[in-house]
Amino acid sequence: MESIRLFELSKEYLESLREAIEMAENDFIKQSLEGVNEADIAALLDELNMQEALYVLRLLDAEVAADILIELDEDSLTKVIYEMEASELAAYIDQMDSDDAVDILNLLTVREREDVISNLQEKEKSAHILDLLRYDEDSAGGLMAKEFIKANKNWNVVQTIDEIRRQAEKVEKIYSIYVVDNKQHLLGRVSLKKIILAASDTKIADIYEPELISVQAHQDEEEVAEIMRKYDLESIPVVNSKNKLVGRITVDDILDVIHEQSEEDIQAMTGISSDVEESDSIFRISKARLPWLLVGVIGGLMGARIIDFFEDGLSKELALASFIPLVAATGGNVGIQSSSLVVQSLASKSVFDDTPWQRFVKGFLIALLNGLVLGTFVFLVVKFIYGHEAKFGLTIGLAMFCVVLLASFMGTVTPLVLNRFGVNPAIASGPFITTANDLIGLAVYFGIAMMVLQL
C-alpha cells in the first residue's frame, strides 16, 4: 500500500519549484511531489500562476492530476481549464467520478462543455455526465454521483460478489450496496459483512435491510446536508419521483456544502455581499464590501442628524454626550446577540423548534431581564460613581432599558421576517442590525432625556 507523505508548503520550496519549472527540471518536480496528497499539491498550485500550474499538472500521472484538479480553488481551476484543449481536459475528466466531472464542466460555456464531452473515451461516463447536467447545481441531483454499487434482490451471494467486483472498478469508495428490484426501484441495502458471512446460495432478498433513508433528486442540498448530519450517514442514495435509484451522495460532497454554507453566512453576517476570497482582485473585494459599508456610513450620517435635532437639549446637558457611545454600542451588541441565536436556530431546523411567536415571547422575556439588570447597573454607576443627580442617572438607566428591549426586538424579528420572504437571514446579524439599532438607540436615548430632564 502506497503511503501518503506529509507535506508542508514553505516559501523556500515554492521558490525552488518555480526555479525548477523555469529550468525544466522535470525529475526534481516529479520526485519532490511523489507521494504528496493531492489536496496539498492543489494548495501549492494555487500559489503558482496559471502557466506554472499547468506545467506541473502535465508532468503528473493523469489520475493524480485529475484528483488535483478537483481540489483546486475555483478561481485557479477556472483559469487552468480554460487554457486546456477539450481533448486534454476530457482525459482528466475520464479519471473522475461523474459528480466531480460535472462540477468542473459547469465552469465552462455550453459550447466548450459539449466539446469536452464529445472527447470523452468512456461512453458510460459521458452518459452519466449528460444525465447529471440536467439537475440544478444546488439540488441532490446536482450533488450525486452515478457511480455506486447495486444488487438485484433475486441474485444469490455468488452473483452479487461477481457483480460487486465488476462495478467496484469504477467506484472509489464503497459505503453501501443498494438493493433494487427488476425495475430498479430502491428496496434497501445490504452490508458487505452480511454478504461475506452468508452461504453462497443465499438470496439477497433474504438478507437485505429494507430500512433505508433516501432523498429525492430534486431536494435542496441544504436539506440533504441536514439529513446526513442528523443521521450521521457516510452516504445516501438518491431516487427519482418513481423511487428508482439514480445516484448516491457521499459525505465528502456534503462537507463541501456545509463549508460553503458557513462561508456564505459568515460573509453575510459581516456585510460582504458576494462570494469573495482574500486572493481575489482589489476591485472585486471592494465591490463586495462597499454596499454594507455605505449602509453603515449612511446610518452614521442619519445618526448625526438625530444628534443635530436634539442639539438644543444637548447644549443644556452636555453630560448626555458622554453616554452616546454606551447606548449605541449596547444596542448593537444586544441586536447581534439576538439575531445570531435566531439565525442559528433557523439553520438547524427541527420539528420541535419554537414557533416564531414563541421565539418572540422568549426573546422579549430575555431582553426584559437583561434590560432591568443593565438599566439598574447603569443608574447606580452614573449616580454613585460618576456623581450625577438621581434624575440624570434615571434617564441613562431608563434609556438603557428601552434600548435593550428595542434592540432585542429588532434582532429577533428581522431574521424571522427575512427568512419568511426567502432572504438569507444571516445578513440581519451584520451591519443591517448594527446600523438600525444605532439609529433607534439614539432616538430613544434623546427622547427619554428630553422627557425626564425636561430639556
- Contacts with 369 (C-beta within 8 Å, 6 or more apart), sequence order: none
DSSP at 3: P
Q: How far apart are CA 201 and CA 209, in angstroms?
A: 18
Domain limits of the chain? 11-137, 149-260, 282-452
H or E element that contains 400: helix 390-420
Q: How far apart are CA 338 and CA 371, in angstroms?
A: 13
pTM of the model: 0.64
**CATH class of residue range 282-452:** mainly alpha
CATH architecture of 11-137: Alpha Horseshoe (1.25)
Superfamily of domain 149-260: CBS-domain (3.10.580.10)
Cell numbers of 190, please?
Answer: 445490504
Q: How far apart are CA 78 and CA 108, in angstroms?
A: 8
Query: How confident is the prediction along the chain (455 residues), in pLDDT tens digits per residue?
Result: 444 555 667 788 889 999 999 999 999 999 988 888 898 899 889 888 889 999 999 999 999 999 999 999 888 899 999 999 999 999 999 999 899 999 999 999 999 999 999 999 888 889 999 999 999 988 999 999 998 999 999 999 999 999 888 887 778 778 789 999 999 999 999 998 899 899 999 999 999 999 999 999 999 998 898 899 888 888 999 999 999 999 999 888 888 787 777 666 665 555 555 555 555 667 766 776 677 677 777 877 887 888 888 777 777 778 888 888 888 888 878 887 887 777 777 766 554 456 667 777 887 888 899 899 999 999 999 888 877 788 888 988 999 999 999 888 888 888 887 777 776 676 656 677 777 778 888 888 888 888 888 76
377: phi then psi, degrees, rounded to nearest 5: -60, -45
